[in-house]
Chain A
């Protein structure tokens, strides 16, 4: 069962910030929020993950609400190369050795960056 819900699609102008929302109202205390993206005909690419604090790396920022029921991925200055499907996934952060820590993908949100 999908644990996250995302809009189907959105677009933004090149150079502007892209804010991608995600709802995960049933998230458990030991689950992290992960974001991956998939550019056409390529494998998914890791972007960022977080537990409860906001996170930032060279690709994006992740803002998680205080109740952890939703989050927003922010691409600060979107470029045409950011056009992709973005997946928001919840995943346990630590498991008993050998336990499955797979990623369960939904359909994601298609971001189109327009010139």
Chain B
């Protein structure tokens, strides 16, 4: 499968623990996005990367959240000191931007986080 893959698909953790999610985008895609989705809501933008550069972070991304894309390929999203309000589906998407033209976003299946 050459789509966007996310790992793990499900994570249950206790409040206060740290968790890390990984996203492997479509190989030739230079853009990578992270979104969060809670029950009954549409996905909310968190941050995006152009290659390895993190170009924008939403105000939703508190200082407990950090995202990296060290070599411009896969990305990780870490949440430190998790809170129950962090329980959500974390979605990763990738796209190809070339010559200023924006491509469609392709989403992974998501990583569902439950904080007890």
Contacts and interface: CB of A to CB of B under 8 A. Distances in A.
Given A95-B100, A95-B102, A102 B48 contact: yes
Interface of A: 34, 41-46, 49, 85, 87, 91-98, 100-108
Contacts of A106: 42
B52 to A, nearest CB: 13
20 contacts: A34-B104, A41-B110, A42-B110, A43-B4, A44-B91, A85-B42, A97-B97, A97-B100, A98-B50, A100-B48, A100-B56, A101-B97, A102-B33, A102-B56, A104-B45, A105-B35, A105-B43, A105-B44, A107-B41, A108-B42
A43 B104 contact: no
A46 B105 contact: yes
B109 A94 contact: no
Contact of B107 (A44, A102, A107, A108): A44
Contacts of A46: 104-106
Q: Would you call the interface of chain A mostly helix, strand, loop, or mixed?
A: loop
A43 B104 CA distance: 14
- Pick the most buried of B4, B42, B44, B104: most chain A CB atoms within 10 A of its CB: B42
A103 B105 contact: yes
B71 interface: no
Contacts of A97: 97, 100
A115 to B, nearest CB: 25
B109 A43 contact: yes
